[in-house]
Chain A
Amino acid sequence: MFVVLVGCGRVGAAIALGLVAEGHKVAVIDEDEDALLRLGEDFPGEFFHGVGIDIQILAAAGTADADAFVAATDGDNTNIVAAQLAKEKFGVKCVVTRVYDPYRAQFFSEKMGLRTVCPTADTIADLSQAVRSCGVNP
């Protein structure tokens, strides 16, 4: 499988390294060239310096041929726009997007057909569950 990732922070880099370890082909885009350091010297994938809403960069990274696309920069709006471009412009079938803001995550998944992952909503659910599991009664 060929996967294009936008955003090479802690999350993006870990996903990229995990995928290449499983034998997938990976291209990573980040606006910070130093982000490449997170991937280590032997990273077998490709790295592109640029922003995820730049259609030329998305094209150069091979998005048109991607089986999957992951948007995981620290900017919700960049992720949402990059993911929509991957879907609408490049026809990628599997597109997943990190969106911190639960309201934007919900709107873009329900109304605009994006597959969003919202760490904030997940954390709220996990922490609430952890509190309940302590057995504290009302």
Chain B
Amino acid sequence: MFVVIAGGGKAGRSLARLLLERDYEVILIEQDRRRYQRLEREFEHLVMMGDATEIFNLERAGIERADVVAAVTGDDEDNIIICQVAKHKFNVGQTIARVNNPENQEAFNVLGVAPTVSSTMVMMSLIEHEMPTHRLVHLLNLQRENLEIVEVMVEEGSSLAGKRIEEIAMPSGSLFISILREGKALVPQGSTELLSGDQILAILETGKEPELTELFHSG
């Protein structure tokens, strides 16, 4: 497996180290000369100097035979361009882009650059997962499949508390996949009764959140 990493900052450098430990073939591209020189001491010929948004530099890195391109520079527009060139010019099977500014997430989505990784959004999800919340929490977006996995709580006084799953009018395109109750995860059956305080993991088609939220908060 050959991975091209664009951007030799903390993210790119750590990623390269981990991949090398696991015997992946790696090349790291860094455009800043001083940073490149520091990286060269550690990675030797596995790092090259250049702007990874230049097609010529991607070719020098051997992108034609790359299995994965990870665009992890500090500039969101550069990460978008690198992934678009990798995918549409060199037919790289898998691209992964880092989102530096969460406000730019929509730009990645609109331009079909996926999957993306944003440390801010990962932290948000983790915080929301740990804290009791009234809102629906996004755990995972499967962008290509148009599905998402969310977590939502059955609150005190919800009309769902005390109901069996088969009695609930589920929005079409949604399914409960697990119930977290008192530290245990249950796989729900039609006869399983929901209790207040249950946290439900559900899989749903993108865009169904409002219907699911409505279901949980009515009554």
Over the window 178-199 of chain B, the binary record of Cβ atoms lying under 8 Å from chain A Cβ atoms (1 yes, 0 no) is 0000000000000000000000
Interface CB pairs A-B, < 8 A, 5 = A77-B81, A78-B77, A81-B77, A81-B80, A107-B89
Nearest A residue to B79 by beta-carbon distance? A77
Identify the stretch in A19-27, A36-44, A48-56, A129-137 within 8 Å (CB) of chain B at 4 or more residues. A48-56
Residues of A within 8 A of B76 (CB): 53
Report the interface size class on chain A: 20 to 34
Q: In this assembly, does B45 line the interface, its C-beta being within 8 Å of a C-beta of chain A?
A: no
Partner of A55, one of B77, B85, B89, B106: B106
Partner of B78, one of A54, A55, A77, A111: A77
Q: In this assembly, does B1 line the interface, its C-beta being within 8 Å of a C-beta of chain A?
A: no
Nearest B residue to A80 by beta-carbon distance? B81
Nearest A residue to B106 by beta-carbon distance? A55
Please tell me if the beta carbons of A107 and B111 are within 8 angstroms of each other in the complex: no
A53 to B84, CA, bound (A): 15
Identify the stretch in B53-61, B135-143, B151-159, B169-177 within 8 Å (CB) of chain A at 4 or more residues. B53-61
A84 to B106, CA, bound (A): 13
Nearest A residue to B78 by beta-carbon distance? A77
Please tell me if the beta carbons of B111 and A88 are within 8 angstroms of each other in the complex: yes
Residues of B within 8 A of A54 (CB): 103-104
Please tell me if the beta carbons of B103 and A84 are within 8 angstroms of each other in the complex: no
